[in-house]
């Protein structure tokens, strides 16, 4: 019974990724088999003396190995914590003559198979590389890398459950997985950027003590210098993270007491179409998730540009920063039309024409994307030249219109990962082509071309929208 229910869980994963359960299993098996073959071949030909002499210092090799394993384990911990929760769509399992323990076992069984497959595929190469870099036996590398993987998994579980505890409101519940992975991005960025400066400024002992809560630093140091105190510290940190991940309980039910944050939609004559579309988009969990992700990476790109501008003055063009930020901010517009899924939208029943529908999509997407870009724009105006923020705002309408054209042409079904990813990739290609053509013009020509491109994009979207609509 547990195996049959596990197939239901795998089918749920496949639906999210836009494929079938057979295709998911076949693709995963082929990928892990290929990695296993490559790992065995490389591990068989890799000698300990050739590794350190060709790659560089052993500390750098082990640092990259430890951080990579920890980051992948933390990402898997988030996924495992999310996949182990039975969603409302599988609520019918509660009505079957099976015990809750069987349902929980069914959700965990595919995860165990995934861990075993990854271990067989990547384990030999990982142990071989680590053994070559340390010059010690495989047991030493296996135990410490196991602690790194367990600590990363526990940290990922804690991030997911903390996000679930914080986002208990029905309007924000769909962002739990997104918030957990954004926290993972912050932790990975800290692990990549912070170690070397901290070790240089504070010294090895103090720097490692500061970084120890991440889970990998003490185990990494124990790989280099296997002192009992350092190994005991790595074990203690791993146990602490496991306890924290287990103590942070899952959030209670999504139904909360008090007044709901989702207000009823009131339509009156004349219908405020753009406002209705904006509220409709915000209420869709996938669009809301896309807006949060676009805002987050807009902030990351702005901070990275500001840091690069201070370290290497003149190396980065303000125009490039502005166009890249606007391109990131406008990406959610590629999902705007996906609510209708090529079926007659609600606007048709209300008597709203294709032109008004597309203009409303552009207006709603522009307003939402501008709100999502506000944190990054504030940082840009504070840390970068004013031309960056001005160029960002000027390019946003054109790119939003391009995104709406892509969304009307493809109408990605929201909730289908492949359809959403295809729409965003198509938007990336189309917007890059537009920016490459506009960037070669003079400032006055750019303003004129931007206006004409916006109108042309809206006209193309209206034409495509009329093709989607069936006669009443």
Q: What is the mean pLDDT of the chain?
A: 75
Helix (H, G, I), strand (E, B) or coil at 78: helix
The answer to whether residues 290 and 376 touch, using CB atoms and an 8 Å cutoff, is: no
**How confident is the model over 132-153, as a mean pLDDT?**
82
Can you give the pLDDT at residue 53? 37
126 HSE (CA, 13 A, CB side): 26
**How confident is the model over 426-447, as a mean pLDDT?**
75
Can you give the pLDDT at residue 35? 58
- Tell which wins on pLDDT, 199 or 335: 335
Q: Using the predicted structure, report yes or no on whether residue 39 has a pLDDT greater than 60.
A: no
Spatial neighbors of 83 by CB under 8 A, at least 6 apart, are 9, 13, 107, 110, 111
Q: Using the predicted structure, report yes or no on whether residue 249 has a pLDDT greater than 60.
A: no
Can you give the pLDDT at residue 471? 45
* 57-107 pLDDT, tens digit each: 566 777 777 888 888 888 888 887 777 665 555 555 555 555 666 666 666
* 270-313 pLDDT, tens digit each: 456 777 778 778 877 888 888 888 999 989 988 888 888 887 77
Can you give the pLDDT at residue 49? 42
**Distance from C-alpha of 312 to C-alpha of 306, rounded to nearest angstrom:** 10
pLDDT band (50, 70, 90) for residue 55: very low
Smallest Cα–Cα separation from 87: which of 98, 101, 103? 103
Q: Bin 362: left if φ > 0, else alpha if -120 < ψ < 50, else beta.
A: alpha
20-28 long-range contacts, CB within 8 A, separation 24+ = 28/114, 28/117
Can you give the pLDDT at residue 444? 64
pTM: 0.63
**How confident is the model over 113-129, as a mean pLDDT?**
76
pLDDT band (50, 70, 90) for residue 374: very high
């Amino acid at each position: 019974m547990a195996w049959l229910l596990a197939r239901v869980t795998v089918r749920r994963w496949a639906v999210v990724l836009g494929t079938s359960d057979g295709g998911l299993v076949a693709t995963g098996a082929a990928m892990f088999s290929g990695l296993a073959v490559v790992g065995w071949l490389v591990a068989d030909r890799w000698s300990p003396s050739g590794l350190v002499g060709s790659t560089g210092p052993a500390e750098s090799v082990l640092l990259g190995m430890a951080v990579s394993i920890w980051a992948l384990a933390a990402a898997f911990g988030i996924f495992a914590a999310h996949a182990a929760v039975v969603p409302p769509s599988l609520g019918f399992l509660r009505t079957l003559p099976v015990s809750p323990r069987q349902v929980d076992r069914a959700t965990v069984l595919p995860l165990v198979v995934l861990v075993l497959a990854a271990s067989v595929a990547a384990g030999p190469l990982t142990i071989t590389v680590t053994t070559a870099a340390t010059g010690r036996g495989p047991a030493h590398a296996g135990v410490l890398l196991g602690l790194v993987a367990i600590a990363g998994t526990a940290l990922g579980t804690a991030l997911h459950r903390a996000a679930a505890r914080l986002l208990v409101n029905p309007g924000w519940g769909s962002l739990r997985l997104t918030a957990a992975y954004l926290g993972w991005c912050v932790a990975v960025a800290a692990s990549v950027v912070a170690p070397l400066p901290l070790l240089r400024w504070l010294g090895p002992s103090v720097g490692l003590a500061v970084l120890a809560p991440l889970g990998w630093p003490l185990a990494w140091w124990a790989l280099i210098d296997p002192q009992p105190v350092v190994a005991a510290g790595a074990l203690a940190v791993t146990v602490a993270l496991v306890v924290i991940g287990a103590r942070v309980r899952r959030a209670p039910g999504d139904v909360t007491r008090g007044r709901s944050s989702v207000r009823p939609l009131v339509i009156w004559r004349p219908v405020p179409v753009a406002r209705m579309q904006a509220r409709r988009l915000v209420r869709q969990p996938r669009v809301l998730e896309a807006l949060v992700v676009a805002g987050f990476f807009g902030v990351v790109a702005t901070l990275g540009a500001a840091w690069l501008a201070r370290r290497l003055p003149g190396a980065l063009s303000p125009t490039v920063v502005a166009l890249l930020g606007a391109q990131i901010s406008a990406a959610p517009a590629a999902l705007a039309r996906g609510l209708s899924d090529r079926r007659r939208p609600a606007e048709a029943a209300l008597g709203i024409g294709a032109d008004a529908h597309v203009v409303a999509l552009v207006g709603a997407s522009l307003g939402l994307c501008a709100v999502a870009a506000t944190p990054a724009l504030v940082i840009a105006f504070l840390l970068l030249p004013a031309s960056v923020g001005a160029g960002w705002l000027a390019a946003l309408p054109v790119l939003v219109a391009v995104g709406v054209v892509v969304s009307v042409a493809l109408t990605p079904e929201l909730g289908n990962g492949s359809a959403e990813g295809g729409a965003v990739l198509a938007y990336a290609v189309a917007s890059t082509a537009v920016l490459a053509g506009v960037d070669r013009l003079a400032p006055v020509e750019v303003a004129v071309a931007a206006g004409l491109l916006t109108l042309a994009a809206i006209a193309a979207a209206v034409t495509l929208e009329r093709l989607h609509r069936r006669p009443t």
